[in-house]
Amino acid sequence: MFRGIYAATSAMLVQEKMLDVVGNNLANVDTSGYKVRVATNKSFPEVLMDRVERYHIVDEALNEELGDRKFYPYARGRSAVGTMPFANVMSETVMSTHLGSVQTTENPFDVMINGSGFFVVEDGNGNTFYTRSGHFQRSPDGQLVTHEGQFVLGAEGRIELGEATRYSISDTGQIFADGEAAGQLRVVDFENPTYLRHVGKSLLAETEQSGAPVDAENPNFVSNALERSNVEVVLEMVRMIEANRAYEAAGRAMTIQDELSGRLYTSVGKPS
C-alpha cells in the first residue's frame, strides 16, 4: 500500500523535473548556439521478487509404517519471479548535438562552426567554458569577446583586435583586422559531447562523462552567420503536454492509494 504512494509521488517529482527541462528549452529557443536538453528517467531500485511455495515431502518408508495414519510433512521453498521497481526517478539530462538552423547577419564578428566542435571562451577569473554560439564582438579594450563578455580564446590565448576599423573571419577561422592576421579561432571537441553541462544560456562545461577537450582538426567556419538553437518548439510542446498528463495521472494514483490506506486503517486499525 505504502509502496504505491511512494511510487506515485516519485513519478510526480520526475514529471516536475521534465517540465523544468522543457521550460528551459523553450525559454532559449532564440538563444544562438543553444543545444536542447532531453531528460531521461529510469526505474529504481529494482528488487528481486520471489514466490514462497509449500510442497509435500514424500517418504514411502514412513507412510508404510504409519499405515492408515499416513502423515504428509511439507516444507517451504522459494522460486524467483523476476524484478520489480519500487519507484520512477530522474536518471539524467543529456544534450542533443544536432545542428540548428543558419541565420545570416551583417556583423563581421559573427561566425558559425560548420560541423562538430565548440568555441573556447574564458571568463574574468580564468575559468574555461565552451560554446556553439559565435555571436562575438570587440570589447572596449580591443579584445574579441562573446556577447556576454567572456574572452574568446584562439590558438595562442586571448585574441587581440587592436584599433582596426575593418574586420573579417575566413572559412578557416583566421581573423583579419585591416587586412592583417590578428588571430586564429580555437575549436575543440569531446568524446561524448552530449554529457557537457550547461552553465549558462549557451555556455558549457566539461564533465567526467564528456571527457577532456581535444583540438578539432581542420574545422570549417561560416562567416557573417550564426547557428540558431536546435530547439523544436512543436516537439517541446508535445513533451510538455505529456509531462502534464503523466503528472496528473500520478497524482490521481496517489490519491487512490491514500484512500485505500484510509479504508485499511478503518477496517483493521493503524499498524503499530
Mean pLDDT of the chain: 83
Model confidence over 228-253: pLDDT tens digits? 999 999 999 999 999 999 889 888 88
Give the global pTM. 0.74
Q: What is the pLDDT of residue 237?
A: 94
Using alpha carbons, select from 114, 152, 154 the residue that is nearest to residue 131: 152
Residues 234, 242: contact at Cβ < 8 Å? no
Q: What is the pLDDT of residue 61?
A: 59
Using alpha carbons, select from 166, 120, 117, 159 the residue that is nearest to residue 142: 159
Instruction: Give 228's DSSP letter.
Output: P
Beta-sheet pairing, 157-158 with 167-169? unpaired
Residues 247, 12: contact at Cβ < 8 Å? yes
Q: Return the minimum-mean-pLDDT range out of 53-57, 149-153, 177-181.
A: 53-57
Q: Who wins on pLDDT, 145 or 92?
A: 145
At 59, the pLDDT band (50, 70, 90 cuts) reads: low
Task: Kindly state the cell numbers that stand for 128.
Answer: 574555461
At 205, the pLDDT band (50, 70, 90 cuts) reads: very high
For the chain, the structural domain boundaries read 2-94+232-268, 102-227
Determine the residue type at 50: D
Task: Kindly state the cell numbers that stand for 216.
Answer: 578539432
Radius of gyration of the chain (CA): 31
Q: Return the minimum-mean-pLDDT range out of 87-91, 100-104, 208-212.
A: 87-91
At 259, the pLDDT band (50, 70, 90 cuts) reads: confident
Determine the residue type at 216: A
